[in-house]
Structure 1
Amino acid sequence: MLKNYFKIALRNLSKNKLHTGINLIGLSLGLGVSILIFFFVQFELNFDKFHSNSENTFRIKRFEVFEGELRSSFSTPIVSAPVFKEEFPQIQKITRFIGGVAQAYLDEENTQSQEFLTVSPDFLEIFDFKLLQGDKSSVLNDKYGIVITEETSKRYFGDSNPIGKSIRLRVAETYEEYQVQGVLEDIPTNSSIQFEMLLNDENLDFLVEERSRNSWYNVFGETYVTLANASQEQDVESGMEALMKKVLGEDYEEGEYYFTLEPIAGMHLSDDPITGMVETTRPKLLWILSTIAILILLIASINFTTMAIGRAMTRAKEVGVRKTMGADFGQLVFQFLTEAFLTTMASLVVGVILAEVLLPTFNELFEKNLNLVYGINQILILIGLVIFITLLAGAYPAFFLSGLKPIKVLKGTLSIHFGKQGLRKGLVAFQFFISFLLVASTLIMVHQMNTIRNYDLGFDQNMVVIVDVPEIPSTSFVKTINDSFKQAELYRQSLSARSEVQSAGITIATYGDDAFWDAGFPLEEGKQFQFKVNFVGGDYVKTLGFDLVEGRDFNPDQGADSSAFVINEKFAEAMGWDDPTAEMMPSTRFNSHEIVGVVKDFNHASLYRDIEPVLFAKSPEAVFSGINSLSINSATNPKVVVKGSGMDFDSFRALLESEWEKVFPSEAFSFSFLDETVEAQYRADERLGKMVFFAAGIAILIAAMGLFALAALSISGRTKEIGIRKVLGASSWSISWMFNKEFLVITVIGILIALPLSFYVMQSWIEQFAVKEWPSWLNFTLLAISGIGFTLLIVSAQSYYASQMNPVKTLKDE
């Protein structure tokens, strides 16, 4: 019996090749894209779920009041970990989590940069990273013991056993032997925490001076805790106030400095702009992508439904005959659903193949490492998609056609006007609505990203190369900066001597939301003044083309202007200074200094953020003497920024490398472009825009195929009418217009609903930018005209062909 259902379904599908082909192509495209999106969403939702104790594990978040504004960060004081462990019995395990870069000695002529994390011994007890070799309880107990990943092991030792072998690392001022005590399986791609090498946090003695390690206002890295039970979270947080009073003493102000616990189960999917050291994804992105997938499937399913309704008269006779022969309602419903199921299954096979083909492009677009692994969860997703589409696309035609009265069908008195017209038009209008909603949203996103791309940031980013210079580690942070800058100055001077180089400067920060360091000092009235700080050298201001509005630039000579500051207009405005170059910092904490210049406001961070007060200094002592808080979220090694003179880049790069070899013969050379660093800040929204654009293209393609098929069905059912009209003298243009009117009304309705709704839908997205601009009404007018022209083109092509048919043939066809 079941075999018979399939045979009849296959016969009906092969008989109507055009409609079957359109359904297959539309559903295959929809499923291919949807499979990628749903698998991606499932991948993102499973981040960090492999940690068995994730429900009881928390990341500590710090809150601090500056100028009456409550600010937060996941950076924590180094001293907090042992204090928290001692003060709160609810904390079972705790680990610090601080990143760094060391030089790894390869041979007498070669070294390479090696990223690492300094962690507490509890790290591998808190997180379930799989240890392949070594004892979890002891591998991180030794200051000079390290744990590396499989990939890192192969890079240093090939296929040999690394346990007991050493890697020479310059974490401090000299190279030290670090022995491999454990090897971890490569970190899962769905882990928010990524690393290559773990060091015991006793090595912080090499990286941070004692005063900073014991200060509650100097923050480095992050802290994670595991509680005996998640319900104890409130107990720990409620005890924070008493602890802060105890450790801060007279500096404590109620509600102005405290910590909370954030569950790690939700740290990957977060709308919080403060992300810390982990990779995050905004939940809104998953909602948007899921909505796109569902909308594309809806459009493809609507094609199936509307074409089935369009062929209602043909299938009605089939239903009448089969009911007369004894078929009941349930059998007919099953027959039509079988056809929908076979079409969906065939589309699923093609869709899976299409998803595999598109996977590399998708991974590149979203910078992910997604694999289409068909485990139990993925199989359930595919089964769910098949059931969803079968019912969505096939249910209405199945129940509608199966319920027809055989007597009326066979006598020819049946009217299915609603099925042929009202519902069909509504579904087609909905298709156009979805398509133009996606297109209008794409237009808004493209216009906004173009606005961002062309916005004047207040400095010159073109043809500026950033060369990373190795850091010289020291227990003194000030000494690290000064020694590293002296080393970078040698390279800068060698470049400046070349005629091909316009200018070169040195900087700690480049560009980005967390690139400039956060610093603060107390004002006389007791409030905290918060600002951004960057340490620079050489011709930094000149190289980046900052506009000096008052005063002068730094003297580029090393050692000169060591007590000088250059600020931006926002800094002067926040201080209320009319003549900043005649002012001093309003705090007695600062050593002798002077403000020598003011640069025009510039965007040091992405255009998601407003411009903040910024201070440039050549010497860290001049700044550190006056501040009482410092937060560092970016790399601390100096960078040499170089402005070329317009020569071709290959020659320019060769110049940079040749000078590098003279100054750093054994160090690896690495560089980046400033404009690429700027663009990277908007990569997530650029990716989303490309995805919406791609989805809009597929939606239009599917809708076009549906419109083509529906127009063909509509025209084929009225060939006699066309013949009569031609005999009575109607022109081809009037016949074409007769059909176009019907579909143009549908198109206009879809556009009129979609365009204003796109403003509402995109409002929250565009509001995230500090700099924003909506497209003009002309853009949307052109979009509406394009939509109307799109419909006219498809319908006119078919109606014109039908109007050219010989009326003699159509009128005697009966």
Structure 2
Amino acid sequence: MIKNYFKIAIRNLYKNKLHTGINLIGLSIGLGISILIFFFIQFEQSFDKFHSQAEYIFRLERHEKDENGFNSSYSTPISTAPTFGDEFPQVRQVTRTIGGGAQAYLDESTIQFQPFLMVSPEFLEIFDFKLLRGEANQVLQDKFGAVITEKTAKKYFGDTNPIGQTIRMRMEDDFEEYQVVGLLEDLPANSSIQFEVLLNDENMDFSIGKESQNSWYNVYGETYVVLNDPLAKREVEAGVDAMMKKVLGENYVAGEYYFTLEPISAMHLLDTQNPGMIENTRPQLLWILAGIAFLILLIACINFTTMAIGRSTTRAKEVGVRKTMGAEFGHLVFQFLTEALLTTLLALIFGLILAETILPTFNALFEKELQLVYRFEQILVLFGLTLAITAMAGAYPAFFMSSLAPIRVLKGNLSFKFGKQRLRKGLVAFQFSISFLLVASTLIMVNQMNAIRNHDLGFDQDMIILVDVPDVPSTSFVKSITASFAKAETYRQALSSRSEVNSAGITISTYGDDAFWDGGFSLEDGKQFSFRLNFVGGDYLKTIGLELAEGRDFNPDPKSDSSAFIINETFAKAMNWEDPLGEIIPNNRFNTHQIVGVVKDFHHNSLYGQIEPVILAKSPATLFSGVNMLMISSASNPKVVVRGNGSDIEQFQAILKEEWERIYPMDAFSFSFMDEAVADQYKADERLGKMVFLAACIAILIALMGLFAMAALAIAGRTKEIGIRKVLGASSWSISWMFNKEFLVITLMGVLVALPLSLYFMQSWIEQFTVRNWPSWFNFFLVAIGGILFTIMIVSGQSYIASQMNPVKTLKDE
């Protein structure tokens, strides 16, 4: 019997090629996108869970109070690791992770900047990164031993055995030799902690002075602890206050400086702009993508349901005959569900092919290394999804059709006019509302991102190239910055003599969230004042295009203006200075200094955050003399900021490289574009906008296919009525309007529901920006008009063909 059900199902699907095709296309697209999103969500949720001790490992988060409330960060003082290990018996192991980098080379032909991660010797015992060669408890014991990944080994040593080989890295004035003692398998794509080279954290002595290492107000890198019991997290956090009182002494103020513990299994899916040394994914993105997948599938299922109901006229007599021949209700339900299952299985196959086809594009969009791996768990989910769609799309038609009374059906007493089927009208209206919701959301996102791109940031980002200058390592931070700036100045002056260069300056920070360093000092009344700082040189203001509100620029001579500060307007307002020029910061710790200029406010952060008080300085010694808080979240090496005169960017790059190799032949040339640094801040929302746009296009396509099929079914069910109207003198236009007005009402219902909902749902997204720009009502009006025009085109085309049929044929008795 079951074999017979499948035969009949295949015959019915083949017989109704148009409706089968529309259902297959809609469900295939919906399933393909949903499968891809399902694997992506599963991949994102798997981050860091491959570590065998994942539930025992926690990352420390530091909380410190300032005048704006609490400042939270994952950067921690150097002393944090040993202190937690000593003070808490619940802590079994602890490790630091401090990022760094140096010029590295094997020979004169292999010179490049090599990033590395300085960690405690227990690092590879805590985290399950697979060692191919070496022992986890031994490889990080030696200060001058290096553990590298397979990819790094191939870069330096090709296919030869890297163990015992050396990499020379400039760690201070000289190049130190590091022997490769361990080889790691390339890191998993779902690891939040990424690196190329691991070094023992004793190497921080090359760049961090002893005073800074012992300070609780200077932070470097992050700290991870392993607890004996995950439930001990609360005990440790409860004991932090007593620990801080012990280590801070007279500087201790209850509740103003403390640490909390974050499970590593949760650190990738963080709802924060500042995730620390890792790249995070906002949980909202996963919810939005899951919602998109569900909506697309729902639209496809609605198509299936409405078309099945629409075919009631042709299937009703079949049901009546089968019931007369003895078919039971359950048998008929099973028959219709079998057809739905076959359609869904075929759509699943096509959907899997589609998912594999667009996977590279998806990975490029989200910058991921997602792979579709079909293990038992994934197959089980796909099987469950198939059954769910079969039930969702086929259940109502199956039960509806199977419940028809055979006497009424065979006597022809049933009426299935489109206008009288409220359920079907409601489903189609709901389908349109989803489509218009996605279209309107896309419109809002595109409009907002255009506003972000066109917003005046207070500086000129065009035709600016940033050339990285390797820092000169030193245990004295001031000496390191000063020496690095001197190195950058040599290159800057060489460029300034070239006619192709408009101007050139030097900067530590560029643009973006946490690009400018955080500083703080105590005011005379004891309150803490927080600000952002940047060290600059040369013609920085001129090159970057910052405008002076009052005062003067720095003298480009590196030996002058060592005691001068330039502030922004927000800093002056925060200090209540009506005439800032010549003012002295009210703090007796600062060396002799003077405010010489005020620049107009500019956006040093992305447009997610407000403009903050900013100090620009030439001398690190002068500025550091007065601060009691410093947090460095970006690179500490200077960059030469260069603006070109011409428009040939490739030729300009070649000039910059030529000068660099002439002056510093032993250092790798590295550069970036200022406008790319700006654009990078909004990558996540740009990706989301593209995804919503794609979803809107798919939703519209499926909805329009459904509209086409529904119009065809509605017109096919009323061909005799059309014939009678033609005989009585009705025009093609009046017949077209008869059908159009029914579908236009549905379209308008969808629009009226979708537009307010889009404003409601997008409110929280757009509020994350400090610059907000909603689309005008005219834009929404155009969306509505577009939907109406599509409806008219599709319905009019179908009704016109029907109206041209010969009434003799349509009125002929069967």
State the TM-score bracket (shorter-chain normalisation).
over 0.9
**How many Å apart are 1:290 and its aligned residue?**
0.3
Deviation at 1:145, TM superposition (A): 0.9
Correspondence for 2:650: 650
- The structural deviation recorded for 1:294 is 0.5
C-alpha contact 2:103 2:668 (8 A) present in aligned 1: no
CA distance in 2, matches of 1:419, 1:783: 26
What amino acid sits opposite 1:632 in the alignment?
Answer: I
For 1:442, the aligned partner's letter is: T
Deviation at 1:786, TM superposition (A): 1.1
- State the 1:110 CA deviation: 3.8
Q: Is residue 737 of structure 1 aligned with residue 737 of structure 2?
A: yes
Map residues 780-799 of structure 1 onto 2, 5 A cutoff.
Answer: 780-799=780-799
Report the alpha carbon displacement of residue 326 of structure 1 after superposing the two structures with TM: 1.8
Quote the offset at 1:333 in angstroms.
1.1
Unaligned runs of 5+ in 1: none
How many positions carry a matched residue from both structures? 814
Matches of 2:110 and 2:367, distance apart in 1: 31
Q: Is the 8 A contact 2:299 2:699 kept in 1?
A: yes
- 1:116-127 map, 5 Å: 116-127=116-127
CA distance in 2, matches of 1:108, 1:328: 86
Quote the residue 2:236 is aligned against.
236
1:416, distance to aligned residue in structure 2 (A): 5.0
Q: Does 2:160 correspond to 1:160? A: yes
Deviates more, 1:595-604 or 1:273-282: 273-282
Q: Deviations over 1:366-423 (max 9, x none)?
A: 1111111112232123212211111111111111111112122112223456997211
**Are the counterparts in 1 of residues 418 and 714 from structure 2 also a CA contact under 8 Å?**
no
- Judge conservation of contact 1:167–1:179 (CA < 8 Å) in 2: yes
**How far apart, in 2, do the equivalents of 1:125 and 1:108 lie?**
36
**Deviation of 1:263 (Å):** 1.3
Q: Aligned-pair distance for 1:552?
A: 0.3
1:84 aligned to 2:84? Answer: yes
Is 1:592 the counterpart of 2:592? The answer is yes
Helix, strand or coil for the counterpart of 2:589?
Answer: coil
Judge conservation of contact 2:563–2:594 (CA < 8 Å) in 1. yes
Give the equivalent residue in structure 1 for 2:676. Answer: 676
CA distance in 1, matches of 2:670, 2:103: 14
d(CA) in 1 for partners of 2:377, 2:593: 63
For 1:323, give the aligned amino acid. Answer: K
Q: 1:626, 1:496 → 2: CA distance?
A: 34
Which whole-Å deviations, capped at 9, do the CAs of 1:170-206 have from their partners, x for residues lacking one?
A: 1232111111111111110011111111100000101
- SS of the residue corresponding to residue 116 of structure 1 reads strand
Which residue does the alignment assign to 1:367? 367
C-alpha deviation, 1:813, in angstroms: 4.8
Cα separation, 2, equivalents of 1:14 and 1:417: 25
Within a 5 Å distance, the mapping from 1:24-423 to structure 2 comes to 24-415=24-415, 421-423=421-423
Say which is worse superposed, 252-261 or 736-745, in terms of deviation.
252-261
1:532 match: secondary structure: strand
Match runs of 1:616-695 below 5 Å? 616-695=616-695
DSSP-derived class of the 1:581 partner: coil
Mapped to 1, the partners of 2:182 and 2:541 lie a distance apart of 47
Relative to the length of structure 2, the TM-score reads 0.99
Q: State the alpha-carbon separation in 2 of the partners of residues 483 and 503 from structure 1.
A: 22
State how far apart, in whole Å, the 1-side matches of 2:110 and 2:182 are. 25
Does the 8 A contact of 2:419 with 2:742 survive in 1? Answer: no
Whole-angstrom CA distance in 1 between matches of 2:582 and 2:479: 30
Q: Whole-Å Cα distance in 2 between the matches of residues 173 and 632 of structure 1?
A: 23
Determine the C-alpha separation between the residues in 1 that align with 2:109 and 2:806: 87
Q: What's 1:574 paired with?
A: 574
Aligned partners of 2:313 and 2:717 also within 8 Å: no
| 1:117-156 residue CA offsets vs partner (Å, 9 max, x unmatched) | 0000111122111111111111111111111111111111
Per-residue deviation, 1:251: 1.1
User: Distance between the aligned counterparts of 1:420 and 1:724, measured in 2?
Assistant: 20
Distance (Å, rounded) in 2 between the aligned partners of 1:73 and 1:293: 34
- SS in structure 1 opposite 2:581? helix
Q: Deviations over 1:318-339 (max 9, x none)?
A: 1111112222112111111111
Q: Is the 8 A contact 2:100 2:115 kept in 1?
A: yes
Deviation at 1:761, TM superposition (A): 0.5
The CA deviation string for residues 273-307 of structure 1, in whole angstroms up to 9 with x for no partner, is: 33111111111100000000000000011111111
Change (3 A) 1:419 1:160: farther
Gaps of 5+ in 2: none
Q: Check conservation: 1:564, 1:618, Cα contact below 8 A.
A: yes
Letter of the 1:536 partner, please give it. Answer: V
Are the aligned partners of 2:417 and 2:717 in contact in 1 as well (CA < 8 Å)? no
- Secondary structure at the counterpart of residue 37 of structure 2: helix
Give the distance between the partners of 2:334 and 2:223, measured in 1 at CA. Answer: 59
Deviation of 1:582 after TM superposition, in Å, equals 2.1
Whether 2:517 is the aligned partner of 1:517: answer yes
Residue 567 of structure 1 contacts residue 614 of structure 1 at CA under 8 Å; is this kept in 2? yes
2-structure distance, mates of 1:388, 1:577 = 67
In the alignment, residue 491 of structure 1 is paired with which amino acid? Answer: Y
Q: Percent identity over the alignment?
A: 70
Q: Distance in 1 between matches of 2:109 and 2:154?
A: 21
Query: Counterparts in 2 of 1:727-806, with a 5 A limit?
Result: 727-806=727-806
Query: What amino acid does structure 1 have at the position aligned with 2:638?
Result: P
**d(CA) in 1 for partners of 2:252 and 2:35?**
54
Tell me the C-alpha RMSD between the 2 structures: 1.2
Structure 1 residues 553-583: Cα deviation after superposition (integer angstroms, max 9, x where no partner): 0001111111111110001111111111120
The residue type equivalent to 2:617 in the other structure is A
- Between stretches 757-766 and 799-808, larger displacement belongs to 799-808
Matched residue SS, 1:390: helix
